[in-house]
Amino acid sequence: MLRYHYLLAALLLCLFAVSAQAQTGVVINSPKVNLTDFRIGYYVDDSRNLDYAQARQQPYSETSNNASLGTNARVAWYRVELDNQSGEELALNVHLPHAYHVKSVQFYTERDGKLVSQEDLDLERVDDSNLMFRGAAVYPLLLPADTTTTLYVRSFVYSHQWFALQIYDQDHSRRALVGVANDIALLVGMMLALVFYNLLLYFATSKIENIYYSCYLVSGLVWIALSYGLVASLFDVYGQDVFMLNISLITMPIFLMLFMMAIFETRKHYPLEHRALQAVLLPLCGMLVWGFFDISAALKPASSMALLMMIVTISVSISLLRKGNPLAGYFLIGHSLFVLFNTLAVTFYKGLIEPNYIASHGVGIGIMLEALMLAFIISHRIKILEGIRASQDELKQQASTDPLTRLHNRRYFAAAADYLLEQCQQQGEPVTALVADIDHFKQVNDTWGHGVGDKVLVTIAQRLKDCCRSRDLIARFGGEEFVVLLPNADPHQAMQCAERMRHAVESVRIGAGTNQPLQLTISLGVTAITPGDSLQDALNRADKALYQAKHSGRNQVCLYQPAASNSDAASQIHG
């Protein structure tokens, strides 16, 4: 009985082997060929020395025509049997769309157990072959009618074995090549737009985080363009020299952490988190220097450093979030998306999951999502800073404004008047000063109360302001007294302005809760300001003219006359 069990097990193994072998064959029964999803066999050559004759004798495992065998499969052989049952000879093209990242690839065509053709493609000497087109290797394959042809492909990669094989007729081949890397070009274009936008922001704001973010974007888009074939597609360059661009894998986390230090101001506000970021930044800088001399060796610890960097940056962002930083939550979301999609990509590169678009493009998607979130953080920080600046401006405005009349106060007038006088003197413009005072204002407060008095002050202040030009400087000096500085106005023009003010106030009627509205007047003193005069001297002279207007019956405008006697120092214009 035991003997029969052994025989049954052996039979099942044979059937399984035959079944597995059959599944790696492809039947073609039409001249229209568009094979993008089928099964192939693979064998990992750990010795890296097997030739075609030796490789064809090895046991092949089954996988998809889009396979990722990880970083340990530097050399792998792939096999697929093509059974042409279309009834006619077919001229097909075999595409290796990811050939841009390999070191070399060889094609072997076998029919009836014999090698019928062979092509070698060395990416270091790509000009010696005509197989490369826009980053894809295109191998012409002739299938005689009613025959089975076996194709072997040897792939030797720099880092991870990321392999794809498609088979097309001539028409489908052209269509496939037209769309090479279009999605990556769109992604890189978006990131370039962000780079230019942030450089403009830097010139506008001089914030160093915009430079760090732009450098992070440049590093990310270089790696994306390199890893997903855009560099090969656009510039038709390959090999070790282009592989050097992988140094962007080191510069990207460097600029990300510099961005964190700048945007969160860790040196100033979070010393513990700042030291944690520095602890990761220093070895990364060492790897960067190492990479300029030996990029392949420098990238070997990249996975470990990337893991450490992710742990530290996420821990720091969580710590900052707990300490109440308003930007940390957004950074944590963006960085978590980056980590999530990168983890998905790593599992794909190591061959732990079935190939799919999101997994194979996980790093690029993660970089783009994080880049968009970092852009949002920058814009949100600008909004916060603008809010702070607006609050500061409002405080300055409140400090320089009379709260009742909303005119400038005495402090602001003193500072602004000095600057205005200096400007006028430099430009040779005449300047005059005007002082106005509400007649009998104390009686208003005593008779109708301070509420009505405040209403009088607000109304008259608005009438005086309406009579001024935009360049004139008007302020409430205190109580019922107002001061106006008139640049580029001679005494005659100032007297006309003062008269307009006097008439404007005289025509005002203010309700005081009685049948008879209040009618008020003002008196004004005007003086010219000559070069060398101080502001205080000019205001003293205007006060003397104002006193003369009051003494002469009020509701008048008087001009200070320096040549007159002290007892009659102003000429007056009666209202």
| 3-class DSSP string for 184-251 | HHHHHHHHHHHHHHHHHHHHHHCCHHHHHHHHHHHHHHHHHHHHCCHHHHHHCCCCHHHHHHHHHHHH
Residue 111: both structure tokens together? 């029919």
If one counts every other C-beta atom within 10 angstroms of the C-beta of residue 185, the result is 15
Alpha-helical runs (H) found in 324-449: 328-349, 357-360, 362-399, 410-427, 441-448
In angstroms, the Cα distances linking 574 to 410, 494, 553 are 29, 16, 9
Catalytic residue among 110, 209, 273, 480: 480
Nearest 5°: phi and psi at 152? -110, 140
Q: Which of 339, 328, 338 is nearest to 260 (CA)?
A: 328
Q: Tokens 């990310």 — which residue? A: 220
C-alpha neighbours within 13 Å on the C-beta side of residue 159:
21
Active site residue 480: yes
Report the C-alpha gap between 124 and 293 in whole angstroms.
19
Nearest 5°: phi and psi at 262? -75, -45
Torsion sign across C-alpha atoms 44, 45, 48, 50: negative
Residues labelled as active-site residues = 480
